[in-house]
Each structure stands twice: as structure tokens, then as C-alpha cells.
Structure 1
Amino acid sequence: MKGFEHIQQELEDMKKEGTFRELIPLESAQGSRVTIKGKDVIQLSSNNYLGLTSHPRMKEAAEKAIRTYGVGTGSVRTIAGTLQMHEDFEEKLAKFKHTEAALVFQSGFTTNQGVLSSMLTDQDVVISDELNHASIIDGIRLTKAGRKIYKHVDVDSLEEKLKESVDYRTKLVVTDGVFSMDGNIAPLPEIVEVAEKYGALVMVDDAHASGVLGDNGRGTVNHFGLDGRVHIQVGTLSKAVGVLGGYVATTKVLKDYLIHKGRPFLFSTSHPPAVTAACDAAVDVLLEEPELIDKLWENTEFFKKGLEELGFDTGISKTPITPVMIGDDALTHKFSDELFNEGVFAQGIVFPTVPKGKARIRTIVTAEHSQEELQEALDAFQRAAKTLNIL
């Protein structure tokens, strides 16, 4: 069919550069090991931090919900798609996050889009970290607000932007809590302090901190003892929680406003009963099985130390997200392929997800991994690097 020639050419260029990648289907349940192309490999690319995708309590809750309520809701939340379990879960989530209210969206991506696009007008300004997640960037693009970018985790740069923004009605500072490509943590206490100095609101996307940092996995706000001082917390139900969706934990005023103005919320069918029930059970798991988070951090420290002793550059990571910096896009993909040959599934991340020259293998260990599996993975990294003359 004619009309796609320029797109075809761009794909051909990507193939020549060695950056074109096919989707890789898993043939097993998500876990510390998965089956890909009939081969059993160690999984190091999943966001399944705590192994909750297959937790028995959550599977049981999902199965019970299907038997009771069916497989779908048949409507958006604002018409006929709000089940009592949706509201019960949001109340539980708000209590867990130490906020007045919480509202669930279909994904973390649409949560950021919905919050930012609905609450800001041309009378307002949004001030964003330069390495914030794509969903924040796209959410900002949907607003008519003034836009300012501050240097990555640079509070002095943030203050400069706040000084330039005194005439706006609302000043909203937005940052990731944990940055998804580098694994570093935002200096949230300093961000909150300078925001309060200039009367600005603070919004934190805690997608990669939920279930990882803070008491029982409450996130970076709780981790730094800032409960009650951050106006908007965005989180995901798709990573450490192990299911699907996103949420905003905030004031009741903003929740009510988003119900009426948040376009992704207004125009998307509500989560199926099984999803909501499993997410609800996940909060109980976080509260009652803190040993999962302890094991996650034990494994993280073991694996980071092993990579660094082998001579790999792991950047500035302080979390279970541990990049192995390579630099060249094509070489990064070759390294990923060689790791697969050695029994490890660890995907390469290249431009445009990260800047040119910053390609890396992004690894994420989980609570499900045994230290024997992680040592096996470290040995595979060493062999693959030797084959490609990387170290």
C-alpha cells in the first residue's frame, strides 16, 4: 500500500545502523527465569521487582473477582463502570500513601497525561527535570502552560527557574522519584524545600519507587519523611505491584477535579474486576510481607557489587535499576544478544530512549532471584564482555 515509503526508509536505516529490534515474546510466566525461543534464561529486564505477578494471594483474589463480577466492567467510571471495589481500593491506596485521596487510571502513562493536561492552563507554569519520564513530557505537551526545564537533579537550576516564574498563578515542579534509565533518586528534600520557598506545588512520579522505597514500599515521599509536603504523587500498579494501571495520590479536591476533567479517566473503560482485586491484594502483601522488599535490596547490593568488581560502569544508580553503560547503540544490542546466548535476558536501551552515546544494558534484579542465579548472570556478563572485547 502506497503512502508509507518514508516510514519504510526510516526502518531500513535503523536496520543498517543495527538499532532495529523485533518484539521478543515470552513463552512462560514472568519470573526470575523465563522461556524465550524455547530457551530457559535468567530474566533481568522485568519491572516485576517483588515477584508479585504470580503471587498466590493476588491470583486467588483475581480468580474470585472474575467468578463474582465477570471479566470486564462494560463502561467508563463516570457512567456505569464504577464498582464498589474500585472505590474501596482507592480508599485503601490513599491510606497506604498517607494522602487524603487516590484515583486510579488505566496506566501510569495516562495518569501523568491526565493530571498535567487537566490542571494547568496558560496562567500556570510547569517546571520539569530534564530527564523526566516520557509520560511527563507528553503530559506537559498537552497543556497550554508555560514550560521550563531544569538541569537533571540540580536544585540550583530549579531555583533559577522558580525565580523566573513568580508571576504565574500556579507553579508546578515535576520530577521522577527514581529515574527509570539511570536508577538514581531525586533529591526530594531539597526540591520540596526550594518549592516551598517560592510557593510552588510539587508532583512526584514514583513509578519505580512504589514497592521499592519507603516503609512497606510507599515510595520516595515516605522514604524521605515528606508525607504531607508533596502535593501530588503518581504511581504505577504495573511494576512492583505486579498488575496493571496507574494512580494519583493527592487531595480530595484534586481527585474530584480529575474525575470531571481528566480525559484519560473520563474516556477509558474502568479496570476489569480481576485487575482491581489483584491490586487490592498487592497492598496487603506490601503491608504483611516486608521481607520481599528486604530480599530485593539484598539482591540489588549483591548484583551491583558483582558488576562493579568485574569492571563495568554502572553509572549513578542507587536502586535495583542498574545500567551497564556501553555507549554505542549497535554494540549494546550485540552485547544483549550475546548475553542471551549465555543464558541471560537483558535488553539494550539505546537512542532515542537515552541520549546518543549513553546506550546501556538496563538490568533490574527482583526479590525472586536467588543469589545463585545472580552469580550465574554475572558470569554470563563476564563471558559476553570478553567475547565482544568490551571490558
Structure 2
Amino acid sequence: MSWQARIDEALEQRRQHGLLRTRTANQQGAGRWRLQDGQRWLNFASNDYLGLSQHPAVIAGWQQGAARYGVGSGASGHVTGYSEAHAGLEQALANWLGYPRALLFISGFAANQAVIAALAQKPDRIVADRLSHASLLEAAHLSPATLTRFRHNDAVALRAALAKPCEGQQLVVTEGVFSMDGDSAPLAEIAAVSREAQAWLMVDDAHGIGVLGEQGRGSCNAAGIHPELLVVTFGKGFGVSGAAVLCSESLACYFEQFARHLIYSTAMPPAQAVALHAALNCVQQGDALRARLTRHIQRFRDGAQQLPWQLAASHTAIQPLIVGDNHAALALSATLRERGIGCSAIRPPTVPPGTARLRITLTAAHEDEDIDTLLEALHDAAGI
């Protein structure tokens, strides 16, 4: 089979099974409204949980950073791309989250890949929650270590996996809040089991940082744990993009020597680091935003109880409505779009077969009437 025939066949299979992914260009894709082709929809698909992508202080921070540093970093951080703006943000993050060091990465995907690629060696074992993010599982698959996946959020299954003989070191990997189900990991139990087995714990808290814990310090703070490796990303609660790895001084030095994503990627623009520092200040002072988000979550869950679709057991900003069939999920998304509501249908392989869903995300930027509009449209679509 030729290259072209192979590609055509793969695309046709995706079409037939309702799995073909497409992108659409927006005039605005974050915040309360999604703007596209001169039309606007209430935006229930953004991860901008606190609405900080539109915050005047964050926007001003980027503008001020660009005026001072320009719009690019110019090189890897190991050459000339590491600025005082980067260093200041790293120190602020480390102080805030209680770690000796923080290292900035261009994305959460890059951070996860860099950590696992630098640490994992052939005798080692990576023990990951089976629903961990694709960046974590792909990095584990590509590493020379053995990957074992334990039953989702099951500390007993984790203990059994860690008890099996291993010649090298063991790294436990999980998320704080899972991106497709919106549920939280039992981090205190997982941390205790990891300590018992003398394994290190790595937590990707992309969807918890900024939203959960004291001052928005995230899932680990809320659970009262301090993992050896904490990955926080800035494209959700912080409203920008990028990521940081929080760790010990010796680990940070090790990554500076061996983390290829850190060494060979152009550093994030200094202006972005300035904007992120402004976003960090907003997160630290964001109790009112977090309380508003919590009210929206409860309002939605209260109103969704009579819907015929399964509402996932999530009390976070991610509220998945499990439809099941791929085509039915696409049809429900299209129905909402006709009512002026933007909400994406998520299908396999992102989620398991038979669990296609609307991944509804709520933000502090929404108004109460927005939640009511969404619920009314869902009830009408269900014929209730």
C-alpha cells in the first residue's frame, strides 16, 4: 500500500466512525464568548477557568514585557534565551509552591516528556494511572523503562503494582484533576503508598493549579502532600500557556544537564514570563474568582440531574456529559451550537470507546444566566 493510499484509508476510517478531528479559526476562543466568522457562542469549551486570559493586568503584563524585552527570547535558555523575567517567575513559583526550584518549559506536554525522558532508565518502572494524560503515557512508552498502568484512582491497585519486583527505581505518575472526567486523584493515599514503596511521585496538576487549594496552589496543596515532582501548566487556571516543573535543587540541576526539551527548545518569550507573573498575582488574590467558579459548578450540577445522559462525578470546572455514541455526541454539540452555545464533543481515542461526551467546562467568566441558558438548551435537546 502506497503512502497516499494508507493516509486516505486512515482518514476514511475516521470519517466513517465519527472520529475525524477538525480545527476552526476563531477571532476569540477563550473567555465567556467564542467568536468565529462574525458569530458568537457562549463558550463552554475553554480551560480558562478563572477568566485570566482576558484580565487587564495579565494583558498589560505581556504588553509591558514586549515593550521591554521584545516579542521573542531569541534562543534556548542555555544560550541567551534565559532572562531576568524567567528567573523572577521561577523563583516566585518556587516560593509560592514550597519547592527549592522551578524550571520553566514551553508547554505542559514538553515538561512531562522532558522529565520522564531524563529520569527513566532501562531497569526502572513507571507506574501510571491508566487515565493519565497522553503526554505522560507517550513519554513512558518511549522511555527505556517498563510502563505499568494501574486502575484509575485506585491506591490498592497501585500498591500491588509497586510490590512487584523491580531492579531499578519506580516513578508513580498521576494527575491532580483528570482532564476528561474532571475527577480528582486520591493524592494523599497515592503519596502514602508511594512512600511505602520508596518510589518517587510525579503529579501533573494542569487542571488543579490556580483553582484548588489555598490561594489556588492546586491539588497537592489541597491534599496536604509534597510530591518529588510537581508539574504545573499555565494554559488553564493561569489563562496563558507554558509550564513549570517544581523539584529539589539537585533535580533541577540534573534537568539542566539532561532534559533535552529544556536544552534544545527556544525559551518562552520574556514577555510571556512577565504576563505569567501578573497571572500568578491574580491567582494568589483570586479567592472571589474561585468562589464564583464553585457556585457555577453547583448551579450546573443541580440543574443537570434530570438529563438522560450520565453526568460524571466531578466537582471541578470540568463537567463531562457522557453521551456514548460518537455520532450522537457530535449531533448534540451541533444542536447546542444552533442555540448559540459552543461545547466540544470529545470522542475516542481521547476517551474510551463508547464514552463519547460533551466536555463542558465552566469558568469564573460566565454569568449565572449563561449556566441557565446551557441547561435550558440541554433539557430541550433531551425533550424534557
TM-score of the aligned structures, taking structure 1 as reference length: 0.95
Stretch deviating more after TM superposition (5-14 or 209-218): 5-14
Please tell me whether the aligned partners of residues 335 and 385 of structure 1 are also in contact (alpha carbons under 8 angstroms).
no
User: Does 2:187 match 1:202?
Assistant: no
Partner amino acid, structure 2, of 1:193: A
Unmatched runs of 5 consecutive residues or more in structure 1: none
**Partner of residue 102, structure 1:** 102
Give 3-state SS (helix, strand or coil) of 1:10's partner.
helix
- Summarize the Cα distance change of 1:13–1:124 in structure 2 as closer, same or farther, 3 Å threshold: closer
Give 3-state SS (helix, strand or coil) of 2:3's partner.
coil
**Partner of residue 175, structure 2:** 176
**Partner of residue 324, structure 2:** 327
- 2:335 is aligned, of 318, 327, 338, to 338
Shift of 1:310: 3.5
Whole-Å separation in 2 of the counterparts to 1:313 and 1:129: 23
User: Does 2:366 match 1:369?
Assistant: yes
- Summarize the Cα distance change of 1:201–1:25 in structure 2 as closer, same or farther, 3 Å threshold: same
Shift of 1:24: 2.0
**Partner of residue 282, structure 1:** 279
Stretch deviating more after TM superposition (359-368 or 26-35): 26-35
Aligned residues: 383
Shift of 1:63: 0.5
Please tell me whether the aligned partners of residues 213 and 219 of structure 1 are also in contact (alpha carbons under 8 angstroms).
yes
**Partner of residue 186, structure 1:** 185
Whole-Å separation in 1 of the counterparts to 2:167 and 2:18: 46
Deviations 1:114-138 (A, max 9, x none): 0001011113211011110001011
Whole-Å separation in 2 of the counterparts to 1:196 and 1:4: 51
**Partner of residue 84, structure 2:** 84
**Partner of residue 265, structure 1:** 262
Partner amino acid, structure 1, of 2:189: E
Partner amino acid, structure 2, of 1:119: L
Partner amino acid, structure 1, of 2:219: T
- 2:290 is aligned, of 288, 293, 296, to 293
**Partner of residue 122, structure 1:** 122
Whole-Å separation in 1 of the counterparts to 2:124 and 2:17: 42
Unmatched runs of 5 consecutive residues or more in structure 2: none
Partner amino acid, structure 2, of 1:333: L
Whole-Å separation in 2 of the counterparts to 1:286 and 1:106: 20
- Summarize the Cα distance change of 1:291–1:7 in structure 2 as closer, same or farther, 3 Å threshold: same
User: Does 2:304 match 1:307?
Assistant: yes
Please tell me whether the aligned partners of residues 76 and 82 of structure 2 are also in contact (alpha carbons under 8 angstroms).
yes
- Summarize the Cα distance change of 1:309–1:219 in structure 2 as closer, same or farther, 3 Å threshold: same
Shift of 1:385: 2.9
Please tell me whether the aligned partners of residues 85 and 277 of structure 1 are also in contact (alpha carbons under 8 angstroms).
yes
Shift of 1:29: 5.7
User: Counterparts in 2 of 1:53-68, with a 5 A limit?
Assistant: 53-68=53-68
**Partner of residue 74, structure 1:** 74
User: Does 2:40 match 1:43?
Assistant: no
User: Does 2:355 match 1:358?
Assistant: yes
Please tell me whether the aligned partners of residues 342 and 384 of structure 1 are also in contact (alpha carbons under 8 angstroms).
no
Shift of 1:311: 4.3
Partner amino acid, structure 1, of 2:132: N
Whole-Å separation in 2 of the counterparts to 1:55 and 1:336: 28
Please tell me whether the aligned partners of residues 127 and 147 of structure 1 are also in contact (alpha carbons under 8 angstroms).
yes
Q: Pairwise CA RMSD of aligned residues?
A: 1.4
TM-score of the aligned structures, taking structure 2 as reference length: 0.97
Whole-Å separation in 2 of the counterparts to 1:173 and 1:312: 34
Whole-Å separation in 1 of the counterparts to 2:29 and 2:187: 36
Partner amino acid, structure 2, of 1:242: G
Whole-Å separation in 1 of the counterparts to 2:362 and 2:96: 25
Whole-Å separation in 2 of the counterparts to 1:331 and 1:177: 30
**Partner of residue 136, structure 1:** 136
Deviations 1:196-244 (A, max 9, x none): 1111111101000011111111111100111xx3111011011111111
Whole-Å separation in 2 of the counterparts to 1:31 and 1:120: 38
Deviations 1:261-291 (A, max 9, x none): 1111111101112211111111111112321
Partner amino acid, structure 2, of 1:209: G
Please tell me whether the aligned partners of residues 208 and 239 of structure 1 are also in contact (alpha carbons under 8 angstroms).
yes
Please tell me whether the aligned partners of residues 333 and 343 of structure 2 are also in contact (alpha carbons under 8 angstroms).
yes
Shift of 1:296: 1.1
Partner amino acid, structure 1, of 2:126: V
Give 3-state SS (helix, strand or coil) of 1:363's partner.
strand
User: Does 2:93 match 1:93?
Assistant: yes
Shift of 1:317: 1.4
Shift of 1:5: 1.9
User: Does 2:344 match 1:347?
Assistant: yes
